Amino acid sequence: MTSGEKRFSERLEQKLEEDYLLWYDVPIGPRQRRPDFIVFHPRRGLLALEVKDWKPDTIQQADPTLFTLLTGRASVKEHNPLMQARDCASEVYKLLQRDPALRHPPGHPYEGKLIMPWGYGVVLANISRKQFDAGGLDAVIPAHLVICQDEMYESVDAEGFQERLWAMYPQIFPTALTLPQIDRVRWHLFPEIRVEPGSGQFGLFDASTAGAVAKVEIPDLIKVMDAQQEQLARSLGDEHRIIHGVAG
């Protein structure tokens, strides 16, 4: 993590309740997009967030697509972080909307639409709101889609911090996802936590699809690791491990 990402992750842990789910730098979907943070709440919806440690004096020029940054003696161009966050959120939306269990049912005013709000935003960990306004950055990133340095201090009120997140949703409507629906969201976003029946050792590998890329059908019933199992699995990394233990 960069220092800005670390500070922001600490605020998320401090200012959000236990029923939020948070992921940092985890690839999502078939295109393996990697938003800095995914924030998910069963009654609020889902947010994709990009965090930047840029300082005001390093930004030479900015437009809706590109930022020109001064790094040492050279200048580099980077994508507008709002575009990055939007692309990740759009990928999530397309992925989840494929599942009938996560769409509004027939006859509903929003029939076929995703049953929860979704949005995206940017965190500027080293730029205050005053510097953001003075630099005219609101012309390339709408002000309500940004959390600035002074809005993520440890002293910031928890409710005020959460309101900054909620303001990033383009629309807010009542949501109450069930536990099975929450598991379906996780099933779609992170295929590696799926518990699939198969003929391989411990049922982890399906010989019929091993080594092949196949279209994944959405099952009626799904199984995924719980949050604690997922956290443990991710902490192991993707290299080989030797597990020591007693027999059985």
Burial of 242 (0-12, 13-18, 19+ CB in 10 A): exposed
What does DSSP say about strands 118-124 and 45-52: parallel, antiparallel, or unpaired?
Answer: parallel
Question: What's the order of all strands across the beta sheet hosting 59-62?
Answer: 59-62, 66-71, 74-79
* Structural domain boundaries in the chain: 3-174, 190-235
The secondary structure of 13-66 as a DSSP string is HHHS-TT-EEEES--BTTTTB--SEEEEETTTEEEEEEEE---GGGEEEE-SSE
Tell me what pLDDT residue 210 has: 41
What is the distance between the alpha carbons of residues 227 and 187, in angstroms, rounded to a whole number?
12
Model confidence over 108-135: pLDDT tens digits?
A: 888 888 999 999 999 999 999 999 999 8
What is the distance between the alpha carbons of residues 92 and 98, in angstroms, rounded to a whole number?
10
Tell me what pLDDT residue 197 has: 64
What is the distance between the alpha carbons of residues 58 and 128, in angstroms, rounded to a whole number?
14
Tell me what pLDDT residue 52 has: 94
Tell me what pLDDT residue 214 has: 43
Per-residue pLDDT of the chain (248 residues; tens, 9 = 90+): 899 999 999 999 999 998 899 988 888 877 888 899 999 999 999 999 999 999 998 998 999 999 999 887 788 999 999 999 999 999 999 889 988 989 888 888 888 889 999 999 999 999 999 999 998 999 999 999 999 999 999 999 999 999 999 999 998 888 889 998 998 888 888 877 777 765 454 545 444 444 433 455 666 666 777 777 777 777 776 677 787 888 87
Tell me what pLDDT residue 215 has: 52
- Are 52 and 45 in contact by the 8 Å Cβ rule? The answer is no
What is the distance between the alpha carbons of residues 206 and 142, in angstroms, rounded to a whole number?
47
Give 103's DSSP letter: B
Model confidence over 32-58: pLDDT tens digits?
A: 888 999 999 999 999 999 999 999 989
Closest CA to 221 of 99, 75, 137: 99
